[in-house]
Amino acid sequence: MSGAGVQASPSFSARRRFPIAAQVGATYGLTAVLLMLLGLGAYDSSQRLSDIAIEGARTQRILIDLTSIQVDLLNAETGQRGFVITGKDEYLAPYLDAQRDFAPRLATVRLLEGRDDEQIRRIDSLADLGHRKFRELDETIALRRDRGLQAGIAAVDTDAGRKLMDEIRQVVNDVSAVEVNRLAANQAAAISAAHQFELFSIFGIVASLVVSVMIGGFITRRIGQRLGDLTRAALAVSRGRLDIHVSVAGRDEVSTLGEAFNRMIRRLKEATDALDSFAYSVSHDLRAPLRAMQGFSQALIEDFSESLDSTGRNYAARIAAAAGRMDQLIQDLLTYSRLGRADLECRPVALDDVIRFAVDGVSEEVHRNGGAVDVVGAPPLVLANRAALQQVMSNLITNAVKFVAPGTPPRIVVRCEEADGRVRLWVEDNGIGIAEEHHQRIFDVFQRLHGAETYPGTGIGLSIVRKGVERMGGTCGVQSELGRGSRFWIELAKAEGE
């Protein structure tokens, strides 16, 4: 009987308990915590991804705006050149648009750059360059307007405008380069965050599954195993073994049950042992005075017959008879109590031997009364305890012989029936019969239907029959009517083999 782990301690309150509800709760709790961590991790990853996306969008916006600014400046230059060549105002449209859009766009970029000082510095220099560019463009346009084509061309030819443009291009490239790097880093971060989220999810789900299944399975198995151990122990006790001690591991309700079970068995054993000593004492100490009563009253009759008249001899005889009855009662009670304790070990027993022995026991009395006992058919082997079965058989047969109407020779038939692996043995007599309303009572202890003068007996014989048969896993009963004889039956399992 063992579950791995700690031996039960003598007092219930001595240890910290870890009830089953707590175990299950802890398992669910742990699983829930794992899932929650998974959820938090997922949330964190998704936040991160969202931040990364926002960051990426910002970078791209900056790049787009820078491109637009560059395009604007180029358009402005183109417009200016167009005007210089043609002198027509409509060619100034792109120049005017660019002039209008430059500052706001740059302001947007500055805003988007946030607190990056390097970039802000570059944007400031871009602003400055832009202003100078527009001033240069303005001057050239004014020259063309005022002094005509040649003056305009000459101004363009100075390359001042182109040089400025180059500087502007350089700054824009610098700013862009930083942003492009940022974009690359941003993408890498996004991929990494996605990976993390993937790993987290897979790991989290698997871990939760494993934990819940393993722990849940472990707990269930432990509970099941230990309850199984306890059940087996209880069954062993029910079959009569009282030396059982269960060692139940753990600190929960099941281990408490184990401790309680052990205590219960100890008390049961104490009670049974007490009963055994009591029966033992009864057997010996109560019978000694009976021996004296019977022996000396008989000695009185035999050795002092001259001194005793018939009344005296009568009295002495009654003393002897009373002692004899008491002895019979004690023996029957002891037999009954001995049957009470355990299921009897059964093995194949030859019914005909048992029947013959019981019949031999009454043959002298039967012959004296001119009766007969017939055994019909071949009684088979049954699964029984020989001693108990012998007792049962003797009781049934002696009853059959005893309970006849005065002067009637007893005629008894013993026969067997077999069906479905069971053997039913009938003891049929031509006796006084039993009224229907008493059919159940007669199998109870101390139930007698007749006075001691008419049919002597202890009232325990049939209780021994019923208890003995039940302890061998069988059943018994009676069919009878008052004045029409009785048919007692017992039913036991048939035994296989020879």
**Binding track, positions 288-327, relative to another protein; x by CB under 8 A:** xxxxx-xxx-xx-----------------------xx--x
- Tell me if residue 376 falls in helix, strand or coil: strand
Closer to another protein by Cβ: residue 327 or 491 = 327
Closer to another protein by Cβ: residue 290 or 493 = 290
Alpha-carbon distance of 183 to 64, in angstroms, equals 13
Q: What angle do CA 100, 105, 106 make, to 5 degrees?
A: 110
- Specify the pairing of strand 422-429 against strand 411-419: antiparallel
Q: Is 280 a binder of another protein (CB under 8 A)?
A: yes
Closer to another protein by Cβ: residue 281 or 440 = 281
The piece of 91-99, 171-179, 280-288, 393-401 that touches another protein (CB under 8 A) is 280-288
**Binding track, positions 431-470, relative to another protein; x by CB under 8 A:** ----------------------------------------
DSSP state of 399: H
Question: For residue 304, what are the CA distances in angstroms to 297, 299, 301?
Answer: 10, 8, 6
Closer to another protein by Cβ: residue 212 or 283 = 283
Buried b / exposed e along 391-413 (16+ C-beta atoms within 10 A): bbbbbbbbbbbbbbeeeeebbbb
Q: Is 284 a binder of another protein (CB under 8 A)?
A: yes
Alpha-carbon distance of 159 to 141, in angstroms, equals 15
List CB contacts of 79: < 8 A, sequence separation 6 or more. Answer: 91, 92, 93, 94, 95, 96, 98
Q: How far is the CB of 273 from another protein (least distance, A)?
A: 13
Closer to another protein by Cβ: residue 185 or 290 = 290
CB 359 within 8 A of CB 375: yes
- Tell me if residue 101 falls in helix, strand or coil: helix
Number of residues engaging another protein in binding (CB under 8 A): 17
Alpha-carbon distance of 312 to 12, in angstroms, equals 68
Which listed residue (176, 272, 283, 398) binds another protein by CB under 8 A? 283
Alpha-carbon distance of 450 to 461, in angstroms, equals 14
Instruction: Write out the E strands in 217-376.
Output: 347-350, 372-376
DSSP state of 134: H
How many Cβ atoms from other residues are within 10 Å of residue 480's Cβ? 22
Closer to another protein by Cβ: residue 6 or 292 = 292
Q: How far is the CB of 247 from another protein (least distance, A)?
A: 29
From its phi and psi, is residue 488 left (phi > 0), alpha (psi between -120 and 50) or beta?
beta
Closer to another protein by Cβ: residue 287 or 448 = 287
Q: Which helix (H) or strand (E) segment is 215 a member of?
A: helix 160-238
Q: Is 386 a binder of another protein (CB under 8 A)?
A: no
DSSP state of 13: G
Alpha-carbon distance of 469 to 13, in angstroms, equals 45
Closer to another protein by Cβ: residue 283 or 363 = 283
Closer to another protein by Cβ: residue 129 or 301 = 301
The piece of 142-150, 190-198, 276-284, 351-359 that touches another protein (CB under 8 A) is 276-284
The piece of 114-122, 184-192, 286-294, 478-486 that touches another protein (CB under 8 A) is 286-294
Q: How far is the CB of 326 from another protein (least distance, A)?
A: 9
Question: For residue 318, what are the CA distances in angstroms to 57, 307, 322, 329, 330?
Answer: 123, 17, 6, 16, 18
Closer to another protein by Cβ: residue 168 or 301 = 301
The piece of 60-68, 201-209, 214-222, 277-285 that touches another protein (CB under 8 A) is 277-285
Q: How far is the CB of 471 from another protein (least distance, A)?
A: 17
The piece of 8-16, 112-120, 282-290, 431-439 that touches another protein (CB under 8 A) is 282-290
Q: How far is the CB of 279 from another protein (least distance, A)?
A: 9
Closer to another protein by Cβ: residue 180 or 292 = 292
CB 339 within 8 A of CB 471: yes
Which listed residue (287, 415, 438, 439) binds another protein by CB under 8 A? 287
Tokens of 349: 């027993």
Q: How far is the CB of 391 from another protein (least distance, A)?
A: 14
Q: How far is the CB of 306 from another protein (least distance, A)?
A: 17
Q: Is 43 a binder of another protein (CB under 8 A)?
A: no
Q: How far is the CB of 298 from another protein (least distance, A)?
A: 4
Closer to another protein by Cβ: residue 142 or 292 = 292
Q: How far is the CB of 378 from another protein (least distance, A)?
A: 32
Footprint on this chain of another protein (rule: CB under 8 A):
280, 283-284, 287-292, 294-296, 298-299, 323-324, 327
